[in-house]
Structure formats: C-alpha cells, structure tokens
C-alpha cells in the first residue's frame, strides 16, 4: 500500500471517522478504533474498492465490538449518552451551537443518528451507508429523511422565544 495514498486517506477521513465512532464510544476509544482501522487498511494487499465505505464499516464494527466487550465486563457504563463529553468543539464563527447540535443528535433514535453522522459528517452516499449498516437504500433514505425532519423541528423549537 502506497504511504502517500494512505496519508491522503487519513487526512481526508480521520476526523469524520472519530466523530462516527463517538456514536458508541468515548473520544479516546473512538480514536483508538480509527487508528486500528487505518492499521488494518495499511495491511491490506490491495486497497478496497470503496475506501471511505470500507473505513466507516471497519470503524463501525470495531466500535460495536469494543462496546459489547466493555458492556460484558461492566454494566456500570450502560448509559453512554448520559454525562458524555462533547462531540463537537464549538467555534465563534459556527452557525450552530455545538452543544445544541449534540443535544439534538442525541434525541434521535440510534439508527437515525447513525445515518445522519455517516451522511453529513462522513460525507457518504446513501448507497454506501446502506452497505455499511446492512439495510436497503429505501430504509436508509427514510431514516435520513425522518432524522432531518426531527432535527429541523427540534432546532426550530430551540430558536423560538416564548410569547407571553
């Protein structure tokens, strides 16, 4: 595997993969899973046909495996989303508050949240997402559409000012 190409894939996808893994894991564990995915990619004899989709699928599988292992060792981490550290780092020039974005994402059902993370932050096509999550394109599309509607509604609610 060409080191330059591997470096290019890392630069292009690392942050998105970490965010996606944060759907299941704390930041440090998410970073470990992403590093592991790139190590696996590096050991491949030939590059996968669709590298971004392969990386997201590998990260998803590793994150879920790690989550299951941790859950079997200890049930005290049952509520991962409760008390979780922020996913996003806010910047003054952002059009949306990072904390609000995370809160809205956490209100979505897990299946919808995963599709949104893959589509928006992962910049993957709905077809690629379907392959990653093992669902038909129509299911992925309906989850994405429902998630966007829910996000829009919740964001509009958070922007409304109470009227007396």
- Return the structure tokens found at 149: 């509607």
Where do the CATH 1.10.10.10 domains begin and end in the chain?
86-164
Give the tens place of pLDDT for each residue, 102-159: 788 888 999 999 999 899 888 999 999 999 999 999 999 999 999 999 988 887 777 6
Tell me the mean pLDDT in the region 14-20.
94
Fold of 86-164: Arc Repressor Mutant, subunit A (1.10.10)
- Alpha helices (H) along the chain: 3-21, 27-42, 51-73, 98-107, 110-116, 126-133, 137-159
Burial class (CB in 10 A: 0-12, 13-18, 19+), 36: middle
Where do the CATH 1.10.1740 domains begin and end in the chain?
1-80
pLDDT of 75 above 80: no
Q: What is the CATH number of domain 1-80?
A: 1.10.1740
pLDDT of 74 above 80: no
């Amino acid at each position: 595997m060409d080191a330059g190409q591997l470096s290019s894939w890392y630069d292009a996808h690392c942050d998105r993969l970490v965010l996606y893994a944060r759907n299941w894991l704390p930041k440090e564990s998410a970073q470990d899973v992403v590093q592991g995915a790139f190590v696996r990619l590096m050991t491949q004899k030939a590059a996968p046909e669709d590298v971004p989709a392969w990386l997201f699928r590998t990260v998803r599988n590793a994150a879920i495996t790690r989550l299951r292992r941790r859950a079997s060792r200890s049930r005290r981490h049952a509520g991962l989303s409760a008390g979780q550290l922020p996913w996003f780092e806010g910047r003054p020039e952002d059009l949306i508050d990072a904390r609000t974005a995370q809160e809205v994402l956490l209100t979505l059902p897990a299946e919808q949240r995963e599709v949104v993370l893959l589509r928006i932050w992962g910049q993957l096509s709905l077809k690629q997402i379907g392959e990653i999550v093992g669902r038909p394109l129509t299911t992925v599309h309906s989850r994405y559409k429902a998630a966007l509607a829910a996000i829009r509604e919740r964001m509009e609610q958070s922007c409304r000012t109470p009227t007396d």
